[in-house]
Structure 1
Amino acid sequence: MAAPTTSNPSKHENHLILRRSILGARRFSNYFWAVISTIGGVGFLLSGLSSYFKVNLLPFSDPVQLVFIPQGIAMTFYGIAGTLLALYLWLIILWDVGGGYNEFNKEQGTATIFRQGFPGKNRRIELVYPLDDVQAIKADIKEGLNPRRALYLRVKGKGDLPLTRVGQPLPLSELENQGAELARFLGVPLEGL
């Protein structure tokens, strides 16, 4: 058996196994918004609490002069909302919700789609299908204000199962390359291009 290639760390392949890693919640945009929400939420919360307790909790401004009702209470509300949003973002990053892999194994004759979910009894989502049930690879391309570019695995009796990450659409050239490579590896048609 040939050794796996190491040119692309997100892909593991040889002539019998093709494996693609899927980026979940640990992407730059989530880290960016988690940091912004944390700074904003904590800042607003400390401003509201400073106006209530009449003690300056912020070193760069003087929110003590704010009247608690209505200004301080509004700042406290926005601070709590921002802090809860930040907590949610940090937790989905920690749990890597949506992360996983797609593996197509000709040795075992299986297609495996694995994703991480939220904690609980359904934390690990693993779908395994025989390669004989794979009918096609489908490319779904929709341009416009909210573009959608995704690959789907068409499985007999199961419909279309998503293979690409959620949130950020793939560049068209990358979508075409991945779709063509996967269709060629599995020996099935590529639909939608």
Structure 2
Amino acid sequence: MSCRSENIRIELIAGSRKTSNFLWAVILFLGSLGFLLVGASSYLGRNWISFCPSQQILFFPQGVVMSFYGIAGLFISSYLWCTISWNVGSGYDQFDRKEGIVCIFRWGFPGRNRRIFLRFLMKDIQSIRIEAKEGFSVHRILYMEIRGHGALPLIRTDENLTPREMEQKAAELAYFLRVPIEVLK
């Protein structure tokens, strides 16, 4: 989503509150809870899960391993739920041609550096760069090359943009900023 005028352009960046993250967090939570229940039922000798009789699973080594996987899965699931609730990675990119300033804002993990706010002069922007790696895992990232600071990623692959849409965004941004486009493959 973006807001555009003649002199100001604001691009909103979606964070970790995506449908895919919600699905993975739920699947991981339920799966790890199942592993933990099977491990606990094999230790106690009770059938807590009807389709998996505890007499067929010995606590050592299968029950221990399943309990370990269940606990590890719960930790990973809680990490995912925390990143979703904190909306890590969300923010905006603001390009102000009138003032000649570019502002990049992102939310990070809680702590002293939770708010990530970068400010640059537009005259320091050298180019807009598209990095594309095709193959089994498609990898496309849109960068802004800044003098003295290197490349700053703007759009990542996980936004599911087609190559044409990525090129269109890069062309619009380069035209707005009046800088050239570089393509790396």
User: Structure 2 length as normaliser, TM-score?
Assistant: 0.90
Aligned twin of 1:67: 58
Equivalent residues of 2:139, 2:157 under 8 A apart:
no
Aligned twin of 2:162: 171
Alpha carbons of structure 1 residues 23 and 165: separation in structure 2 relative to 1, 3 Å: farther
Aligned twin of 2:88: 97
Equivalent residues of 2:142, 2:156 under 8 A apart:
no
| Pair 1:13 & 2:4 matched | yes
SS in 1 for 2:102: strand
Aligned twin of 2:120: 129
2:109 to 101, 104, 118: 118
Report percent identity of matched pairs: 46
Equivalent residues of 1:148, 1:169 under 8 A apart:
no
> 2:51 corresponds to which letter in structure 1?
S
Question: How far 1:79 sits from its partner (Å)?
Answer: 0.8
Q: Distance in 1 between matches of 2:121 and 2:131?
A: 23
For residues 104-148 of structure 1, the C-alpha deviation after alignment (integer angstroms, 9 at most, x for no partner) is: 012332111111211111111111101121121111111112322
Aligned twin of 1:142: 133
Equivalent residues of 1:22, 1:165 under 8 A apart:
no
Q: Distance in 2 between matches of 1:57 and 1:119?
A: 38
SS in 1 for 2:145: strand
Question: How far 1:168 sits from its partner (Å)?
Answer: 5.1
Equivalent residues of 1:24, 1:166 under 8 A apart:
no
Equivalent residues of 1:48, 1:63 under 8 A apart:
no
Structure 1 residues 77-88: aligned runs within 5 Å:
77-88=68-79
Q: Distance in 1 between matches of 2:108 and 2:168?
A: 28
SS in 2 for 1:163: strand
For residues 154-179 of structure 1, the C-alpha deviation after alignment (integer angstroms, 9 at most, x for no partner) is: 11111111111364553101111100
Equivalent residues of 1:98, 1:115 under 8 A apart:
yes
User: Structure 1 length as normaliser, TM-score?
Assistant: 0.87
Provide structure 1 residue ranges, at least 5 long, that are not aligned to the other structure.
1-9
Aligned twin of 2:178: 187
